[in-house]
A and B are shown apart, each in its own frame.
Chain A
Amino acid sequence: MSVGATGPERKLIDTCVHCGFCLPACPTYQLSSNEAESPRGRIDLMRRYLDGAIGLDADFVAHIDSCLGCMACVKACPSGVDYETLIVEAKSMIHASFQRPSRQRLVRKVIFAIMPYPARMRPLARLGSLSKRLGVERIAKGRASGGVAATLASALALLPRVANSAVPARNRLYSASAPRRGVVGLLTGCVSSVLFGSTEQAAIDVLCAEGFDVLVPGGQGCCGALAEHAGEAPLARRLAGALVARLGREQVDAWITTSAGCGSTLKSYDRLLPGNPASREFSERVRDIHEFLYQQGLRADYKPLGMRVAYHPACHLANAQGIVDEPLALLRAIPGCEVVLPGQSGTCCGSAGIYNLVEPATAQVLGKAKASSIAELHADVVATGNPGCLLQIARYSDPGLASAHPVELLARSLRASTA
């Protein structure tokens, strides 16, 4: 099926029997207690819209916009409703048919003119981190009554004080450093490649140590996940099409991503580019790094790290891709590594793609709650498999709490073994 302006499909809506089992799982319902801010309520809005009972007005849009897309409801649903497709279709319909107020339009335009393009994002991120050190953040915050200024303030608050931008060289095949088990490609993405070069490096180190050649093709763009989850379907299709065109002919056993949000879209390109055999074939080879390492089995020599790790299950890993136990198993494979989960561990941290930029109020409540439940664990480091979550949690946590992608901890443990 194709995501477009036609709106949510009646057939998918009808699979919802209105039982309400999703209500306790939904962070926005838990905060608002409002039926229209729940998955069941949002599906009902779509149904009523198709029935012609309600219009596509600002209230309708607000209730759909407020959905984090965390997919906790999908796990809770006994009827197997494909909420992910429904919400993407509803958001795409809004994008195609609803005239947003000019301020919202501008905010989204700015976000999607920058974030998917590392060449534009990189200098701005450096500037942002610099200005943050100079205290500009406080000024922006003071003026942030809404619109672009508020988004800028949120964006600045999310940026690390020092941009972590040493990116591994592109267009290279990094050779396996153990008996060879295969060849994989590393998907570098957009935001991640600007802010999390260290995660990429760690992924390469671990994969090589596990016996895989790692191809890192240059010229990769954004996978389209951010745009798709925000309803910007035309842009998402364009980006996805370009990525498939760039990588489709590379001969690798699997495409590895370190970003949960990207993985969920990369694995379902059929939704964005229906009937395209190349994109389907590409999607079938995409693996999240936790999933891949767990399936292959760890063979390298991991040395003790002796630390307490708070693991935050990213929604797009646990809910959208069903990758729950794998990251825990990998972290527990590091000797001396104690892994703990925060209370309400299944609740979204509020990052949710561009959500913390366009819905900062809800994102802040969720971010603070997540940070405080993590703080209670008194961990040495918080680990999570999604760049957005790493930024969001770091923003609301004590600056003394380190954060890392789980693969970085694996890499650190490897280095300890060779030191």
Chain B
Amino acid sequence: MPIASLSDRIAEFKRRVVELVPHGECIVGDAPALSSYGADGLIRFRQTPEVVVLAKSTEEVRAVVSLCAELGIPFVGRGSGTGLSGGAVPPAHGVVIAASAMKGIVEIDPVDRIAVVEPGVANLVVSERSAPLGLYYAPDPSSQSVCSIGGNVAENSGGAHCLKYGFTTNHVLAVEVVLPDGSVEVLGGESPFEPGLDLRSSFVGSEGTLGIVTKVWLRLLSRPEAVRTLVADFDSVESAGAAVSAIIAAGIVPAAIEMMDALAIEACEKAVAAGYSLDAAAALIVEVDGSQEEVDALYEEVKTACITCGTTKIREAADQAERSRIWLGRKAAFAAAGRLAPAYIVQDGVVPRTALSSILGRIQELANQVGLRVANVFHAGDGNLHPLVLYNPDSTQESEAAEKLATEIVELCVEIGGSITGEHGVGLEKACSMAAMFDDGDLEAMQRLRVAFDSQGIANPGKVFPTPRLCGDAPGRYRAHALELSGEAVRF
């Protein structure tokens, strides 16, 4: 078969795709709508897709992916478009396959505690629908009211309560996926142990590079009998950090420990008036859950640890409404930063918990050097920090300084033994930082796994792995890698 030009293949794709999607919708000629799919939650990266498919079923996703495979057209899956690493930014000349119209809950099994859901369903909806059965879905990203389960699977999303309960991968029993060659497979199973290689684990967190998820079997948990939540103020970030260490050292695993610095407190308070103290240098939100007896005992221990470390004020949530208010404030933090500055970059790094207070000092130094402000919110319990670098986008100089500072911060995390991402994924944004964390051998091993799923390189190309074009390597004639020469890997 003669190889048609890219534009011919795209034209053919546009002609044929419409009939493959009888129940969903294909956006082909509507330029404004196509443009609106150019970016996800990270608006700095943008690429308008050629076609957007709002699929209604696995069959429609399968048919569209098969056509992509046949014509060699790259595609990306998209949930609610709330990702913060550019993971759902369409590839150039690519197709968006959106799960937003596949938002059904297929089944909730209260005995085995399993929810079977379509990928477009919002994270929080799973918990809301399981609530009458006394169950809930534990991973709780801050965007849980919006973000989709399909997106959570792609990013292996975390959240405040992952300290105790683990990440998405700990709660996904199985996934039905459409692989990049158009085949439909179920990875994993309903039983907790599956023999053989654990492909489910490879798929969760693969950021769309191995295929598109079309159905998910989720593990549900019983609602804890009791929950107690406190906000403890501190007059320095160091003493708040010391309190975190003291709580963990006491052998307590709280449901969540969140830290906010003064700037973050100000932003959240402006957005939702959660009742945080505006004069505190740092605040911890600590939540303990379990049986009433256990919770009461743990709560006292947490309180003691905070007092020992010099808390200036402790406020306990009196009821569910106050607890919701406290969490609403914390969960609005990113978007609320928009109230402090016209633009900001959310960073997502991990450091050893013991390094929390020292890295804050280092971040402050780096920020002072370039005259920028940084607000900090963290999942302190697992050392996952989210510095928010505030800047004015009208100034090119300031924008560049902010990007540079954001990169310096994550690379600093790696330097002190941490990671470039705790839960937002690598996507487009961090692809170039992968080399700071992994050596060539590591990256090659990952690439081999990826090629095993996607020999053509059409599933979300340009993400996760550093590429010369993306990362501005020295120009020059392309030199094939040893793996390419041996036929084990393909260059995308």
| CB of B335 closer than 8 Å to a CB of A | yes
Which residue of the partner chain, among A21, A53, A77, contacts B145 with CB atoms under 8 Å?
A: A21
> Interface code B25-44, partner A: CB below 8 Å = 1, 0 otherwise?
10101111101111111110
A44 touches B35 (CB 8 A): yes
Are A24 and B25 touching (Cβ within 8 A)? no
Q: Indicate if B339 sits at the interface (CB-CB under 8 A).
A: yes
Q: Scan A73-117; emit 1 where CB is below 8 A from any B CB, else 0.
A: 000011110000000000000000000000000000000000000
Does any Cβ of B come within 8 Å of A59's Cβ? Answer: yes
Q: Given A20-B41, A36-B30, decide whether A15 and B101 contact each other with a Cβ distance below 8 A.
A: no
B115 contacts the other chain (CB 8 A): no
Q: How far is the CA of A145 from the CA of B36 in the complex (A)?
A: 31
Q: Which residues of A contact B338 (CB under 8 A)?
A: 15-17, 78-80
Within 8 A of A (CB), among B85-128: 98, 100-101, 103, 120, 122
Contact A79 B37 (CB under 8 A): no
B231 at the interface (CB under 8 A from A): no
Best-surrounded residue of B33, B54, B344 (most CB of chain A within 10 A): B33
Annotate A44-81 by CB proximity to B: 1 below 8 A, 0 otherwise: 11001000011101011001000000000000011110
Report chain B residues within 8 Å CB of A15: 338, 342
Are B342 and A34 interface neighbours, CB within 8 A?
no
Query: Using Cβ atoms and an 8 Å threshold, which residues of chain B touch A20?
Result: 41, 80-82, 143, 146-147
Query: Nearest B residue to A53 by beta-carbon distance?
Result: B35
A18 at the interface (CB under 8 A from B): yes
> A35, B32: Cβ atoms under 8 Å?
no
- Say if the beta carbon of A251 comes within 8 Å of chain B: no
Q: Is the CB of B37 within 8 A of A35?
A: yes
Instruction: Choose one: B36, B337, B393; the contact of A41 (CB below 8 Å).
Output: B36
Min C-beta distance of A11 to chain B, whole Å: 8
Task: Report whether B101 and A33 are in contact in the complex, using a CB–CB cutoff of 8 Å.
Answer: yes
A63–B41 touching, CB < 8 Å: no
Does B314 lie at the interface of the complex (its beta carbon under 8 Å from any beta carbon of A)? no
Partner of A59, one of B31, B101, B122, B343: B31
Beta-carbon nearest neighbor of A77 in chain B? B335
Choice from B31, B98, B147, B336 contacting A54 with Cβ under 8 Å: B31
Cβ of B271 within 8 Å of any chain A Cβ, yes or no, is yes
Cβ B82 vs Cβ A59 within 8 A: no
Contacting pair B32 A36 (CB below 8 A): yes
Interface string of A115-147 (1 = CB under 8 A from B): 000000000000000000000000000000000
Q: Is the CB of A57 within 8 A of B81?
A: no
Contact A23 B80 (CB under 8 A): yes
Cα–Cα distance between A59 and B272 once the two chains are bound (Å): 35
- Tell me if A1 is interfacial: C-beta within 8 Å of chain B: no
- In angstroms, Cα B342 to Cα A15, docked, is 6
Which residues of chain A have C-beta atoms less than 8 A from B48's C-beta? 53
B319 to chain A minimum Cβ distance, whole angstroms, is 18
With a CB–CB cut-off of 8 A, which chain B residues contact A63?
A: 32-33
Does any Cβ of A come within 8 Å of B334's Cβ? yes
CA distance A78 to B145 in the complex (A): 13
Q: Give the residue of A16, A18, A59, A77 whose beta carbon is less than 8 angstroms from that of B32.
A: A59
A45 to B41, CA, bound (A): 15
Identify A35's interface contact among B33, B143, B272, B337, CB under 8 A: B33
Shortest C-beta distance, B465 to chain A (Å), equals: 25
Residues of A within 8 A of B146 (CB): 19-21, 23-24
- CB contacts (< 8 Å) of B342 on chain A: these are 14-15
Please tell me if the beta carbons of B334 and A59 are within 8 angstroms of each other in the complex: no
**Interface SS, A side:** loop
Chain A residues near B122 (CB-CB < 8 A) = 24
User: Cβ of B366: which chain A residues have Cβ within 8 Å of it?
Assistant: none
Q: Is the CB of A80 within 8 A of B36?
A: no
Cross-chain contact of B39 among A23, A34, A44, A59 (Cβ < 8 A) = A44
Using a CB-CB cutoff of 8 Å, which residues 32-66 of chain B contact chain A? 32-33, 35-43, 48, 52, 54
A80 and B39 contacting across the interface, CB-CB below 8 Å: no
Interface string of B3-44 (1 = CB under 8 A from A): 000000000000000000000010101111101111111110
Instruction: List, in ascending order, chain A residues with CB within 8 A of B37's CB.
Output: 35
- B84 nearest in chain A by CB position: A19
Given A18-B41, A48-B35, A35 and B343 contact (CB-CB distance below 8 Å): no
Q: Which of B39, B48, B100, B122 is packed against the most chain A CB atoms within 10 Å?
A: B100
**CB within 8 Å of B: which of A2-38?**
14-21, 23-24, 33-36
- In-complex Cβ contact of A48 among B32, B271, B334 (8 A): B32
Interface size on B, residues (CB 8 A): 46
Does any Cβ of A come within 8 Å of B332's Cβ? yes
A79 CA / B341 CA spacing, docked (Å): 10
Within the assembled complex, what's the spacing in Å between the Cα atoms of A20 and B337?
A: 15
Indicate if the CB atoms of B33 and A36 lie closer than 8 Å. Answer: yes
If A17-B338, A20-B146, A34-B54 touch, whether A60 touches B32 (CB-CB below 8 Å) is yes
Cβ–Cβ < 8 Å partners of A35 in chain B = 33, 36-37, 52, 81, 98, 100
Which residue in chain B gives the minimum CB-CB distance to A19? B335
B22 to chain A, nearest CB (A): 16
Check A45 against B35 for contact (C-beta < 8 Å). yes
Please tell me if the beta carbons of B31 and A57 are within 8 angstroms of each other in the complex: yes
Measured in the bound complex, the distance between the Cα atoms of B31 and A35 in whole Å is 13
Q: In the complex, are the beta carbons of A19 and B33 less than 8 A apart?
A: no
Minimum Cβ distance to chain A for residue B45 (Å)? 11
Binary contact readout B256-295 vs A (1 if CB under 8 angstroms, 0 otherwise): 0000000000000011100000000000000000000000
Q: Per a CB cutoff under 8 Å, which of B27, B339, B343 touches A14?
A: B343
Chain B, residue nearest A41 (CB): B36
CB proximity of B317 to chain A, nearest CB, Å: 20
Q: Name the interface residues of B220-275: CB closer than 8 Å to any CB of A.
A: 270-272
Contact of B339 among A36, A57, A80 (CB under 8 A): A80
With most chain B CB atoms within 10 A of its CB, the pick from A20, A24, A78 is A78
C-alpha gap A316/B39 in the complex (Å): 31
Which residues of A sit under 8 angstroms from B334, Cβ to Cβ? 17, 19, 78
The A-contacting residues of B in range 178-211, CB under 8 angstroms, are: none
Q: How far is the CB of B203 from chain A (nearest CB, A)?
A: 24
CA distance A35 to B99 in the complex (A): 12
Q: Which of B36, B52, B81, B337 has the most CB of A within 10 A?
A: B36
Taking CB as reference atom, which chain A residue is nearest B331? A78
Selected contact of A34 from candidates B25, B42, B143, B337, CB within 8 Å: B25
Task: Specify which chain A residues have a CB less than 8 angstroms from the CB of B33 in the assembled complex.
Answer: 34-36, 41, 59, 63
The CA of A36 and the CA of B101, in the complex, are separated in Å by 14
For B39, B41, B103, B146, which residue has the most chain A Cβ atoms within 10 angstroms?
Answer: B146
Chain B residues, CB < 8 A from A17? 43, 334-335, 337-338, 343-344
Q: Pick the contact of A45 from B32, B82, B100, B103 — CB < 8 Å?
A: B32
Q: Which of A17, A45, A55, A63 has the most CB of B within 10 A?
A: A17
Inside 8 A of A36's CB, which chain B residues have their CB?
A: 27, 30, 32-33, 36
Which residues on A sit within 8 Å (CB–CB) of B35? 44-45, 48, 53-54
Is B339 touching A18 in the complex (CB atoms < 8 A)? no
B111 nearest CB across to chain A (Å): 27
* Cα of A322 to Cα of B145 in the assembled complex, Å: 21
Interfacial residues, chain B to chain A (CB-CB below 8 A):
25, 27, 29-33, 35-43, 48, 52, 54, 80-82, 98, 100-101, 103, 120, 122, 143, 145-147, 270-272, 332, 334-339, 342-344, 393
Q: List 15 A-B contacts (CB under 8 A).
A: A15-B338, A17-B43, A18-B40, A18-B42, A18-B43, A23-B80, A33-B101, A35-B100, A36-B33, A53-B35, A53-B48, A54-B32, A78-B271, A78-B338, A80-B338
Q: Which residues of A pack against B, CB within 8 Å?
A: 14-21, 23-24, 33-36, 41, 44-45, 48, 53-55, 57, 59-60, 63, 77-80
For the complex of A and B, 10 pairs with smallest distance between CB atoms: A79-B338, A78-B335, A36-B33, A78-B332, A33-B101, A33-B100, A41-B36, A19-B335, A18-B43, A20-B82
Question: Other CB < 8 Å A-B pairs besides A35-B98, A41-B33, A78-B338, 20 of them?
Answer: A17-B337, A17-B343, A18-B39, A18-B42, A19-B335, A20-B146, A21-B145, A21-B332, A24-B146, A34-B27, A34-B54, A44-B38, A59-B29, A78-B272, A78-B334, A78-B335, A78-B336, A79-B335, A79-B338, A79-B339
